[in-house]
Amino acid sequence: MEEVIKIEGGRKLRGSVRISGSKNSTVALIPAAILGSEPVTIYGVPHISDVNSLTQLLRELGVYVESRSDDTLYIDPRNMENRPMVSHAVSKLRASYYFMGALLGKFGHAEIQMPGGCYLGPRPIDLHLKGFEALGADIKYEHGCYILDAPRLKGNRIFLDISSVGATINIMMAAVFAQGRTVIENAAREPEIIDIATLLNKMGAKIHGMGTSSLVIDGVKDLHGCSHEIIPDRIEAATYILIAAAMAEEMTIENIIPQHLEAILMKLEEIGIDMKVGPDFVKISHTDKPLRPTEIMTKPYPGFATDVQQPFTAILTQCQGQSVVTETIYTERFKHCGELNKMGADIDVRIPSGFVNGPTRLTGTSVVATDLRCGAGLVVAGLMADGVTEIHDVYHIDRGYDNLDGKLQSLGAKIWREPVE
C-alpha cells in the first residue's frame, strides 16, 4: 500500500544522529562481491530498499544471500549461474547496471535489460559500453536488453569523456580479470570508488591510483572471499547536517568522514551556520544571525555534490537575498524547486541554474518526492514549514535513507506515515 510521510514543522531539534553506511558504495559493493569464488561478508549495510532489490537480483543469479545481524550481509557466489537479468527489480534500480561489469568480467557474457532508477535527465551508459568495448567486448542491443560478449577481455587504456562514477566502477569490475593492464584516465575520484577498489583488492585484485584521476588495474586470474566495512554515507551525512542547519537547537551528526564533506561544510560556514567539526562528527548550534546568500555550482568530487544540491536549496530559501544554484551534472535536477514553490519558496529556474530569493515563509502543503534527493529537500523544508507537510511517492526516499522517520523522531521531530488510497 502506498504511504505518505507527514511532518509537522517548526519543532526545534536536539540530540545526536548516527550516519549509516554509504548507499552509493553499497549498491556497487554488492555486485562486486560476486566476482570472487568464495563468500564475502559486508558490514555497515544500510536498511534501504535498493539493498532489497539488489539481494533479490543476486538470488535470481543463484547467489546465496543472508542478512546476519542488523547491518551485515553474507554473500556466497559459489553456486552462481550467469542468467539473463530481465526481472522487474532491474528496471526499478539504476545500480543494477553494475552487474554488466561484474558478469562480463567473471563469465565473459552479460545480458541485462535497460536499468531504471530516478529520472534526472539523460544519464546515458555509453561511457560504460565504450569502456567494455575497449576491453574487447562485443555489444548488441536487442528487445530492450544489452548483450555483452567477450571470450577474453584484454587490458587497454581508456579515457572517459566525463569522469563518471558509474562508468569508472563498472569498467574497473570488468577489468579485474582482463589480461594485462587497464588504465582508466579521467576516472572519477569519489570516496565510493576507493571503497569498491578496497573491497576488490582485499579479494585479491591489483588496483592502484584510487582517489586519483588515473586508475590502474592489473588483471588477475581469480578472486577469493573477504570481509569489508562500508564507509559512512556522505550524502546522508550532508542531509542531516542541513537538517541541523535548518532546525537544530544543538545537534551532533556522528560517524562521518569530514574530509568527504568539505565543500558542503565550507558553503554552510559561508552562509553563517555555527558549527564545530571533529574527527568523526559535526556539531551544529542554533544561530539568531540572518543567513547570507551564496552561489553553488555542482561538480564531481571533491567539488559540491549534485546529490546535496536539492536539500541545500531548501536552506537557501531562508537566506537574506538571492542565491544561485548551478547544476553542471544532471541539468534536469530542479524538480524540487516547483514543489518548494508550492510551500511558499520563491525560486526561478532557468536551466542549468535556479535563482533562490529569500527569505520566504514556508507553509506545509501536499508535495511530491519526484526523486530521492528531491525527497530529502522536501523533508528539510517540511521541518522548517508552518503546519503539516504531506510528502507523496516516499518510495524514492526509502531507496536511499535508512530509518529516516526513526532518526528524526529521536531528535524531536514530529514525523509519521499514513497509508493513502
CA distance 391 to 395: 10
Q: What confidence score (pLDDT) does residue 119 get?
A: 54
Domain end, chosen from 191, 212, 229, is at 229
pLDDT in tens, 243-252: 999 999 999 9
Answer yes or no: do 220 and 243 share one domain. Answer: no
Strand order in the sheet with 353-358: 295-297, 321-326, 353-358, 346-350
Q: Which residue did the predictor score with more confidence, 206 or 116?
A: 206
| 118 counts as catalytic | yes
Do the annotations mark residue 23 as ligand-binding?
A: yes
* Mean pLDDT of the residues in the chain: 95
Q: pLDDT per residue over 134-161, tens digit each? A: 999 999 998 888 999 998 999 999 999 9
pLDDT value at position 116? Answer: 60
Which residues, 6 or more positions from 278, have their beta carbon under 8 angstroms from its beta carbon? 258
Q: What is the pLDDT of residue 118?
A: 53
Cα–Cα distance measured from residue 346 to residue 357, given in angstroms and rounded to the nearest whole number: 5
Q: Are strands 346-350 and 353-358 parallel, antiparallel or unpaired?
A: antiparallel
* Residue 135 annotated as lining a ligand binding site: no
Residue 12 counted as an annotated binding residue: no
Alpha carbons 224 and 379: distance in angstroms, whole number: 42
pLDDT (0 to 100) of residue 91 = 79
34 annotated as ligand-binding: no
Q: Is 94 annotated as a binding residue?
A: yes
Q: Are residues 45 and 16 in the same domain?
A: no
Q: How far apart are CA 71 and CA 264, in angstroms?
A: 27
User: Which residue range(s) make up the domain with 323?
Assistant: 3-20+232-419
Q: Lowest mean pLDDT: which of 34-43, 140-149, 230-239, 265-274?
A: 140-149
Distance (Å, whole) CA 312 – CA 56: 33
pLDDT band at 127 (very low <50, low <70, confident <90, very high): very high
Tens digits of residue pLDDT in 330-351: 888 999 999 999 999 999 999 9
> Is pLDDT of 228 > 70?
yes
pLDDT (tens digit per residue) in 304-320? 999 999 999 999 999 99
* 272 and 150 within one domain: no
Per-residue pLDDT for 167 more than 70? yes
Residue 70 has a pLDDT of 84
Q: Assign residue 193 the CATH number of its domain.
A: 3.65.10.10
218 lies in the same domain as 328: no
Same domain, 381 and 330: yes
Q: Are residues 238 and 93 in the same domain?
A: no
Q: Give residue 279's pLDDT.
A: 98
| pLDDT above 90 for 120 | no
Picking from 115, 171, 178, the residue whose alpha carbon sits closest to that of residue 150 is: 178
Tell me, yes or no, whether 58 and 89 share the same domain.
yes
Provide φ and ψ at 234, rounded to 5°: -70, -25
> Does the pLDDT of residue 117 top 70, yes or no?
no
Domain boundary among 199, 229, 259: 229
* Claim to verify: residue 205 and residue 106 sit in the same structural domain: yes
The verdict on 383 and 316 lying in the same domain is yes
> In the beta sheet, which residues pair with residue 158?
184
Same domain, 76 and 51: yes
Of 52, 9, 61, 50, nearest in space to 27 by CA: 50
The reply to whether 419 sits in an annotated binding site is: no
Confidence of residue 47 (pLDDT cuts 50, 70, 90): very high
pTM: 0.94
Express each pLDDT in 350-392 by its tens digit: 999 999 999 999 999 999 999 999 999 999 999 999 999 999 9
pLDDT of 92 strictly over 90: no
Catalytic choice (118, 226, 337, 374): 118
Domain count across the chain? 2
Nearest to 176 by CA among 147, 196, 148: 196
pLDDT of residue 94: 82
Confidence of residue 254 (pLDDT cuts 50, 70, 90): very high
**Which cell is 371 given?**
526523486
Cell of 144: 530492450
| Shared domain check, 209 and 240 | no
Last residue of a domain, one of 175, 203, 229: 229
Instruction: Say which residue the cell 562485443 belongs to.
Output: 138
Are residues 307 and 193 both part of a single domain?
Answer: no
